[in-house]
Chain A
Amino acid sequence: MLELFAFAFMQRALLAGAMVAVICPAIGLFLVLRRMGQFGDALAHVSLAGVAAGMLMQAYPVAIGLAFSVAAALGMDWFRQSYKRYGELSVAIMLSASMGLAVVLLSIAADRGAGAGGVLSYLFGSLMTVTALDLYVIGGLGLLVLLTLLLLYKELLAITFDEEHARVSGLPVGLVNTIYMVLTAAVVAMAMRVVGVLVVSGLVVVPVATALQVARSFRGAFAISVGAGLLAMLVGLVVSSALNLAPGGVVVLTAVAILLVVAGYKRIRGLA
């Protein structure tokens, strides 16, 4: 079955998948530690609504999805201020609102006979149809995200650990938060094009949960999150193409399996 990887489309799937598998957990680590893990999920659904709007407007859906996602991320920061004590509530509201909007827009699009089939690819991803252009866009964006995370690493860690202290110590907390939110929105919107809403939500959270089980440092948590995401993607792609299953589902299930193995190992070692 490995001869499958000789095909160009499979190589593109692998490369695009690997990039997504690296940047989703890298972004997700900070989200989870801020107790905003669901935020990735909500943003993915907002992007979906954007894609639906894009189809209706007959514009490039990914671009509209990206615009929706960035706008939502920025609005979210403002929204979070008004629901400070119920941070998760504002995420839930955004999730329902965007799902509602997506469904309405999609039903209108379906009535007009426009691209109902295309929508499925955004829900479940379309790794096997990644074009060379997609690959360049994802690769470029991925490198940009990783570079920004590297350059803002110390600020992000300081703010994530203790936002009040970061502010008092003179860090530009608002600016860094805004950059991070825009980055998150861009990652989610782009990753959704490749792997679908389902996998984006999974890859933002599950590898991070794995890392939190065993990490002995923040640097370690970062490395383990990315490693677990990458492993899930590679194993998931190989298994799904060998058994002819939906890649997105297999990738997420693999990530969960890695989490369970690691958590189980930790539990057993703790008992011994």
Chain B
Amino acid sequence: MDEPLIQLQGVSFGYGNDLVLEDVDLTVRRGEYLGLIGPNGSGKTTLLKLVLGSLKGVSRGEVRLFGVPAGAFSDWWKIGYVAQKAAAFNTGFPATVEEVVLTGRAARRGLLRLYSREDRHRAAEALEQVGMLALRDRLVGHLSGGQQQRVFIARALVSGPELLIMDEPTVGVDVHAEGQFYELIRHLRRQMGLTVVLVSHDIGAVGHEVTSLACLNRRLFYHGSPADFGTEEQMCELYGHQVRAVQHHHHR
């Protein structure tokens, strides 16, 4: 079995008495391409925050990253992250594409140090990977939404991560850009052997791409091959009353 990069064991998390996550066991292994799906309010974001270290302290259970308990983990550069609202930044911000991508290396370079030639080289490489090298000197606010998303993916890649986590990456992106996005992820997995976690509320699109699916709605309902998932009962169990809305979402 490949090395586990993310391990959640019996994780419960709650605000006050309400459990947002209940007894979740989930392991993501090196090389996996996982789609983490669930309706709004299913705890996806909370789970993500626990893995990214922006929420600390589970009520019960344990989170391990690269085999290390999350509280003691410090190699954050190994995890690249693209937030859902990454493209909702201040578009008047005076920074070039290259300057934005370089910020992804700041933590790895270390405090009180200037960017080195290597950092710039890595930034160029990451921009090449996402096909944005030609626009490196452009102001990031002047790009299209799809291009901005590529810049933020490059920022996540520039630290040389082994795991890439993306939160609702295709929300607010048109169908053409969505196709390009999945193509890019396939390319990155082939080229860099990245382990990828895609968080989405949309089973339809994600299900065709990923190598495994995890379905969350406070508890983990399913974790396995996308081919074996999708029976009517499982959908109902996962989405409950929202099933109509979700199916409606699939019509294109």
CB within 8 A of B81: which of A151, A169, A217, A218? A169
Q: A154-B109, A167-B54 are in contact. Are A161 and B76 (CB under 8 A)?
A: no
The answer to whether the Cβ of A212 comes within 8 Å of any Cβ in the partner chain is yes
CA of A210 to CA of B74 in the docked complex: distance in angstroms? 40
Q: A217 contacts B83, CB within 8 Å?
A: no
A218 surroundings in chain B (CB, below 8 A): 93-96, 99
A-side contacts of B106, CB under 8 Å:
154-155, 157-158, 166, 169, 171
Which residue of chain A has the shortest Cβ distance to B53 in the bound complex?
Answer: A168
Instruction: Tell me, rounded to whole Å, the shortest Cβ–Cβ distance linking B43 to chain A.
Output: 18
Does B46 count as interface, using CB distance less than 8 angstroms?
Answer: no
**With A153-B114, A164-B83 in contact, is A212–B94 under 8 Å at CB?**
yes
B188 interface residue (CB < 8 Å to A): no
Contact of A154 among B52, B53, B89, B103 (CB under 8 A): B103
Residues of A within 8 A of B94 (CB): 33, 211-212, 215-218, 220-221
Residue B104, interface by CB 8 Å? yes
Q: Is A77 an interface residue (CB 8 A)?
A: no
**Interface of chain A, helix or strand or loop or mixed?**
helix
Nearest to A164 among chain B residues (CB) is B83
- The answer to whether A169 touches B109 (Cβ under 8 A) is no
Nearest CB in chain B to that of A225: its residue? B94
> Is the contact region of chain B dominated by helix, strand, or loop, or is it mixed?
loop
Q: Tell me the complex Cα distance, A212–B139, Å.
A: 12
Residue A152 at the chain B interface, CB threshold 8 Å: yes
For A157, the chain B residues whose CB sits under 8 A away are: 95, 99, 103, 106
User: Which residues of A211-241 have CB atoms within 8 Å of chain B's CB atoms?
Assistant: 211-212, 215-221
Task: Find out whether the CB atom of B86 lies under 8 angstroms from the CB atom of A165.
Answer: yes
Within 8 A of A (CB), among B153-176: 155, 159
Residues of B with C-beta under 8 A to A153: 114
Q: How many residues of B contact A (CB 8 A)?
A: 35
Inside 8 A of B246's CB, which chain A residues have their CB? none
Do A170 and B93 have beta carbons less than 8 Å apart?
no
Number of A interface residues in the complex (CB < 8 A): 29
Looking at the assembled complex, report how far the CB atom of A215 sits from the nearest CB atom of chain B, in whole angstroms: 4
Report the minimal beta-carbon distance from B131 to chain A, rounded to whole angstroms: 21
Q: With A and B bound together, what is the CA distance between A119 and B139 in angstroms? A: 45
Nearest CB on A from B63, distance (A)? 15
B68 located at the interface, meaning its Cβ lies under 8 Å from any Cβ of chain A in the complex: no
A172 near B111 with CB under 8 A, answer yes
Is A170 a contact of B109 with CB atoms below 8 Å? no
Please measure, in the bound complex, the distance between the C-alpha atom of A169 and the C-alpha atom of B79, giving whole angstroms: 8
Chain A residues with a Cβ under 8 A of chain B: 33, 150-155, 157-158, 161-162, 164-172, 211-212, 215-221
Q: Which 10 A-B pairs have the closest CB atoms?
A: A170-B76, A158-B103, A170-B107, A221-B94, A215-B94, A218-B95, A154-B106, A158-B106, A151-B112, A217-B96
27 A-B residue contacts at CB 8 Å? A33-B90, A151-B111, A151-B113, A151-B114, A152-B111, A152-B112, A153-B114, A161-B89, A161-B93, A161-B95, A164-B54, A165-B81, A165-B86, A165-B104, A166-B103, A166-B107, A167-B54, A168-B54, A169-B77, A169-B81, A170-B108, A212-B92, A212-B94, A216-B137, A218-B94, A218-B99, A219-B99
